[in-house]
A and B are shown apart, each in its own frame.
Chain A
């Protein structure tokens, strides 16, 4: 798909879709689905930096999401219902702290493990994800163990933001910030260095790319974005507990990235939106088709979900909206990546 078609499409996804959702009768259900979709969009954008752009298979990704959520809960003095919200940090201070905690954890995990290649990195990060979840489950004094922690709602100018639409706009802001930051990085020397490492690590190093540093940046960036998403998740749910940060979440997010088009920002946004919204759409399909009560789709929901994924992968192995570089790998004779930005000046 040419670039000219991509940008409006992305804008459409980010602006028109939520607007549509909001113009619907503002049931808490629609808002909740919209927020779930956006949360997955943010998570997929973050994982796309690590896996899609830098080519580092991080299977412990959801642990950083959990760290962001728990950091927020703990700093806001969440806890068992009766003890919650007494003298904790404000949400607006907890957000950057949660991002920093997740990013710092990414740094600590990344420093020793990013020397490993491919499969080995995947195994180490997988183990890290399990360790994080076990810690959350068992460090009762800090996390209240399996009972989880209650988290207060954000307060803005003395006003407690409880309504779905209020939280929705906070999340939309976070997602737009994430998307803009990742897009900027991707279209810069940093993004080119990521592609170079993915293509040929030895050649990249010989060309002056500080390979360990650039890889670490991708890893920390992904972890920080997951931390941001986790921080929002904590206040949106008002509750954090270990089962939310299970390994299967990493797999789901990875599926969104791959299905949408690994390495491609519009693709990843679309992939996340599709996979997050599809189960809910399937749930309400009989109603939408006016067949309410005639058949129950719920038992087949996940089957249809899986079938949809298989169909997409079979028809578009490069994803729904593939990255130009990736498309080139799978369809070497088709059109070219976007051209050099400054070409007009250069030609003159």
Chain B
């Protein structure tokens, strides 16, 4: 396949993206293409710039330099809520739920994006209000079912167990109906059982036809799930390839796996 054709198919493209914080270059001329469908992972040691890369893609931090393209159109300067509308959703490394709201309300905030309620319509219960309300609630319950939390829908988000909070955050992201889902270390702090459930959940998300962009530390998880992996170190991309290629890459072994032990 020519490079041109590959770019045309790319859902998300980073071209020479740089982000400086004062004297620190957190992300340095980072380029990669996320094709439509499948799981694309970004790995790297702590401080490699993965989360900054995510914040750049999701519009929370503007790039100092370079281009970000979503479906071929520039998204530099696009606000986070506009990105959500375009079909880009994310979760956070440090879970960010609406803690004092219930589980279903958390997801309903997201489902309102695709079934919006007008202000005056909501204030005076005008025509169409009931339809949008029902659509929001039905979608919220549907996604809660999808992640297996519907029995906890009236619980406060902050009272959920850690693994459940992660799933709720994923449900909330899914309810915005994204085409690209960014998961920032979804397995962090999970026990093996919860991690196993997460692998199964990401498999089902992928089966829906969504593209998943994943940051993760859990190497076995990455190797099982990913179609393609980019490796970062000190803000640079040092390698990109299939899981097998990455595992055999001496550069990666040196930078990331250190002693070369597989794992």
* Interface residue stretch chosen among B10-18, B20-28, B38-46, B100-108: B100-108
* Closest Cβ neighbor of A195 among chain B residues: B101
- On chain A, the number of residues with a Cβ less than 8 Å from chain B's Cβ atoms is 37
Neighbour of B156 across the interface among A210, A336, A346, CB < 8 A:
A336
Neighbour of B96 across the interface among A202, A325, A341, CB < 8 A:
A202
A185 at interface, CB cutoff 8 A: yes
The answer to whether A192 and B108 have CB atoms under 8 Å apart is yes
The distance in angstroms between the C-alpha atoms of A212 and B16, with both chains bound, is 31
A4 at interface, CB cutoff 8 A: no
B123 at interface, CB cutoff 8 A: yes
Please count the residue pairs between chain A and chain B whose beta carbons lie under 8 angstroms apart in the complex: 131
| 0/1 string, B60-71, CB within 8 A of A gives 1 | 100000000000
Q: Say yes or no: A189-B89 contact (C-beta < 8 A), given A200-B97, A203-B97, A336-B102.
A: no
Q: Say yes or no: A199-B101 contact (C-beta < 8 A), given A189-B117, A207-B113.
A: yes
B158 at interface, CB cutoff 8 A: yes
* Closest Cβ neighbor of A263 among chain B residues: B100
The answer to whether B98 and A204 have CB atoms under 8 Å apart is yes
The answer to whether A188 and B101 have CB atoms under 8 Å apart is no
8 Å CB interface, A30-64 against B: none
How far does the Cβ of A104 sit from chain B's closest Cβ, in whole Å?
A: 15
Residues on A with C-beta less than 8 A from B125 are: 184
The answer to whether B122 and A184 have CB atoms under 8 Å apart is yes
The distance in angstroms between the C-alpha atoms of A336 and B110, with both chains bound, is 21
The answer to whether B113 and A328 have CB atoms under 8 Å apart is no
8 Å CB interface, A185-214 against B: 185, 188-193, 195-196, 199-200, 202-211
The distance in angstroms between the C-alpha atoms of A326 and B100, with both chains bound, is 7
Q: Give the dominant DSSP class at A's interface.
A: helix
How far does the Cβ of B177 sit from chain A's closest Cβ, in whole Å?
A: 9
The answer to whether B81 and A325 have CB atoms under 8 Å apart is no
Residues on A with C-beta less than 8 A from B109 are: 189, 192-193, 195-196, 204, 207, 209
The answer to whether B96 and A337 have CB atoms under 8 Å apart is no
Neighbour of A181 across the interface among B112, B124, B155, B176, CB < 8 A:
B124
Q: Say yes or no: A200-B137 contact (C-beta < 8 A), given A185-B122, A193-B112, A205-B79.
A: no
Neighbour of B81 across the interface among A188, A205, A332, A340, CB < 8 A:
A205
Q: Residues on A close to B: CB < 8 A?
A: 181, 184-185, 188-193, 195-196, 199-200, 202-211, 217, 325-326, 328-329, 332, 336-337, 339-343, 346
Q: Lowest 10 CB-CB distances: which A-B pairs, in order?
A: A208-B84, A208-B113, A188-B122, A203-B96, A189-B112, A199-B98, A205-B80, A189-B117, A339-B154, A325-B100
Q: Residues on B close to A: CB < 8 A?
A: 58, 60, 79-81, 83-85, 89-90, 92, 96-102, 104-105, 108-110, 112-113, 116-117, 119, 122-125, 129, 132-134, 136-138, 141, 150, 153-156, 158-159, 172-173, 176
